[in-house]
Amino acid sequence: MPVRGGRTALSVVLIVVLCAGLLFIGVVIGSRPGALNAVRAALPAGFGDVLLGHSTTYPLQNEVLDKLEHSYYKKVDPATLQDDSIRGLLQGLDDPYTHYLDPKEFGAFQERSGGAYSGVGMMVESRGNFVTVVSTFKGSPAAEAGMRPGDVILEVEGQDATKLSLNEVVSRIKGKDGTKVKVKIYHSPAGSNGPVVDKNGSASLPQGGTTEELDLLRKTIDIPVVETEIVDAPGGKKVAHITFATFSHDSAKKLRAAVEKAVKQDKVDAIALDLRNNGGGLLDEAIVVASIFIAKGVIVTTKGLHSPEQVYDAEGGALTDVPLYLMVNEFSASASEIVSGAIKDTKRGTLVGKTTFGKGLVQTVEPMSNGGALVATTAIYRTPSGADINKKGIQPDVVAPDNTETKNVDETLQKVLELVAGRT
């Protein structure tokens, strides 16, 4: 039976996958006492003795490591072997969204979710084996250096970024305020969405781009969750153009405050909620954001192999009288698509822009006893109409892409203003 909930967090422990994976890890490094102890220390209480004790079930792996023990030309760091074994295991799932975070990476992940960090001011995502820029924050080192959505990070401090995980790239770019980081960037050509991913998940760089090496000065980045400007539509109508950058902790409260101010104090005639280049974030925040505009009914439904179907309803207190226009593009993903799907299916507003990214999967963060975490895809989600948008995206009601070559004109926003004025 479906389970209904408002902000109840989806929490699923992937026991089958995790146990199988940890058993393999125990096999792989079981013949090295130092490595075995390192793995045992990283596992939840009781797991290590149970799982690592079965390493003799896989004699071939033991044989390889025994030979390494007696013939490898240099000493192997057990901790490095442990982390690489886990990452290698998870790569076998062929899921770019499931990965292991070591303690340092997990700390950086929590820092970014909190809304501030020290780095260069950009959001990135994986496209095949390419780490691709989704957005840059206004005034950040990345933005000032000319980086833009669709650009690809080729190297970080001389290391090939295509051989690193997304979080490994992020952790290498982040660093102490005032220090520099050298990155090699592939600027995708104008009009390109970045790497092209085929149906098998393989990606290739778009032709016609340029390569550039940048020395970026790290600084403390305060993620601008909400930015509002009041713009005039033809006919004298006022529109609140509200840019929403990320679904981080308590970001929905900030958005609600901005919307209420625009409606009650500024007396705007419409809201243009800008989710372009918003790569998503927390599921709970997406429910609350959608509930700002949708009075009742289903927002999203999730279901996984190890979790029952869960239906998330609107929480109440919606502002339903003001017309809503949702601005989206190919970099609107995950939580942005949960909101977009709910708005479109309930006909609460009009989607304007380009088809969204197409990430219809939910990840759960499971902290581990070593201070790291397993980020695992635990469910798929469906929009209120039951649509699975994974790898498909959500098509806008009005197609109006922004032309990146016209830097002083936002064609998507201009189309919204025309719609508000009734000219389309």
Tell me which residues are annotated as active site: 334, 345, 359
Residues 115, 116, 121: CA angle, nearest 5 degrees: 105
Strands 298-304 and 307-313, by their bridges, are antiparallel
Q: Do 128 and 64 form a contact (C-beta atoms < 8 A)? A: no
User: Cβ-count burial of 322 within 10 angstroms (0-12 exposed, 13-18 middle, 19+ buried)?
Assistant: middle
Q: Do 176 and 218 form a contact (C-beta atoms < 8 A)? A: yes
Q: Do 98 and 376 form a contact (C-beta atoms < 8 A)? A: yes
Q: Do 290 and 273 form a contact (C-beta atoms < 8 A)? A: no
Structure tokens at 284: 């709970």
Strands 361-367 and 373-382, by their bridges, are antiparallel
Structure tokens at 128: 């095949």
Closest CA to 240 of 263, 208, 207: 263
- Exposed e or buried b per residue across 155-191, where buried means at least 16 C-beta atoms within 10 angstroms of its C-beta: bbeeeebeebbbbbbbbbbbbeeeeebebbbbbbeee
What are the start-end ranges of the E strands in 46-115?
Answer: 99-101
Residue type, 169: V
Q: How far is CA 228 from CA 114, 242, 280, in A?
A: 21, 4, 19
Structure tokens at 175: 């660093």
Q: Do 422 and 235 form a contact (C-beta atoms < 8 A)? A: yes
Tokens 């939580």 appear where?
Answer: 335
